[in-house]
Amino acid sequence: MSLLRKYFKISLKLGIFSWICLLIAWTFISSFYDAQFFPSPIEAVLGAEELILDGTLIHFIFISLQRVLVGWVIGNAIAVPVGILIGRIEIIKQFIEPFLDFFRFIPAIAFITLFIMWFGIGEESKIMLIIYATGFAAMINTVSGVLSVDKIKIQAARSLGANELQIIFYIIIPAALPYIFTGIRLGMGNAFMAIVGAEMIAAKEGIGYLIFTSRMYFRTDWIFVGLISLGLMGYFSDRILQFIGVKVLRKYGIKKETQFSRN
């Protein structure tokens, strides 16, 4: 009994038990509906096999990942330096803060039509949408990190003769890195949400396109495959990012954690 309890705790900690329960619930619910309305796990697997064998699923996953990564990298490259400036320079903070408080409540998907008009239906509109979705999470968390830095440390560095650039690079950024890292992780999630909307409306490739067009063929199993693919793409992207962060930035307070871990 104690051994069984031990294995149960391990499976619960690793999430195995949760996934087993989900599969059981999914199978049970799907038994009451037609496959075109609510496919079973087996039917979803068969649909995935079909898409994998003809190369569609792997190609669409690669296309969506490429768009997400390009927009996410550019968005963070812009948002983090701007966030440091906003948090460090009061006049910039007072000028930009009203715009931040206004635009951060407008979801990226609301700009799809405008971005298509401005940047066309090619890759540019999708990348710009992801940059927008990524930027606010990274920027706001960066500002919070900069503002949380102990003022005594800054005063001590200045009394020792440090100039503003030295204070930013040796005091502000190292202290704010946990906030910045959280911001870029949240930005990754926003990027995946943005790409789905963009690919549904203005794309001929990608997971969002697969989900949107599957309805025309009454292939609900393909929709489930697309949803599961998105979840797995986001999950592994976040885990890889977290692994790199822990390995590279451990000395700055970045540690392995889960979404609901205690402080």
191 and 212, same structural domain? yes
CATH of the domain at 45: 1.10.3720.10
Whether 94 is in a domain gets the answer yes
Q: Quick one: pLDDT at residue 263?
A: 39
- Confidence band (pLDDT; 50, 70, 90) for 247? confident
263 occurs within a structural domain? no
The answer to whether residues 25 and 115 belong to one domain is no
pLDDT of 35 reads: 77
Q: Are residues 50 and 131 in the same domain?
A: yes
131 and 171 assigned to the same domain: yes
- Is residue 12 domain-shared with residue 75, that is, in the same domain? no
Residue range 107-132: mean pLDDT, rounded = 87
Per-residue pLDDT tens digits for 60-119: 999 999 999 999 999 999 999 999 999 988 899 889 888 888 988 888 888 888 888 888
Looking at the structure, do residues 91 and 140 belong to the same domain, yes or no? yes
Same domain, 9 and 51: no
Does residue 98 form part of some domain? yes
| Domain of 216, in residue numbers | 38-252
Whether pLDDT at 259 is above 70? no
**Mean per-residue pLDDT for 234-262?**
76
Q: Are 92 and 10 contained in the same domain?
A: no
R_g (Cα) of the chain, nearest Å: 22
174: pLDDT strictly greater than 70: yes
Concatenating the DSSP letter of every residue in the chain gives -HHHHHHHHHHHHHTHHHHHHHHHHHHHHHTTS-TTTS--HHHHHHHHHHHHHTTHHHHHHHHHHHHHHHHHHHHHHHHHHHHHHHHH-HHHHHHHHHHHHHHTTS-GGGGHHHHHHHH-SSHHHHHHHHHHHHHHHHHHHHHHHHHTS-HHHHHHHHHTT--HHHHIIIIIHHHHHHHHHHHHHHHHHHHHHHHHHHHHHS-SSSHHHHHHHHGGGT-HHHHHHHHHHHHHHHHHHHHHHHHHHHHHHGGGT-----TT---
Query: How does pLDDT run across 10-47, given as a tens digit for each residue?
Result: 666 666 778 888 889 989 988 888 878 888 999 999 99
- Assess if residue 3 is contained within a domain: yes
Residue 257 lies in a domain: no
Residue 260 domain flag: no
Residue 259 lies in a domain: no
The answer on pLDDT for 157 being more than 80 is yes
User: What's the pLDDT tens digit per position in 46-59?
Assistant: 999 999 999 899 99
Mean pLDDT of all residues belonging to the chain: 86
Q: For residues 12 and 103, state if they share a domain.
A: no
- Does 140 have pLDDT greater than 80? yes
In terms of domains, do 28 and 43 share one? no
Task: Assess whether 27 and 118 both reside in one domain.
Answer: no
Model pTM?
0.84
Same domain assignment for residues 130 and 242: yes
Q: Into how many domains does the chain fold?
A: 2
**Cβ-count burial 152-166 (b if 16+ within 10 Å, e if not):** eebeebeeeebeeee
Question: 13 in a domain, yes or no?
Answer: yes
Tell me the mean pLDDT in the region 180-207.
88
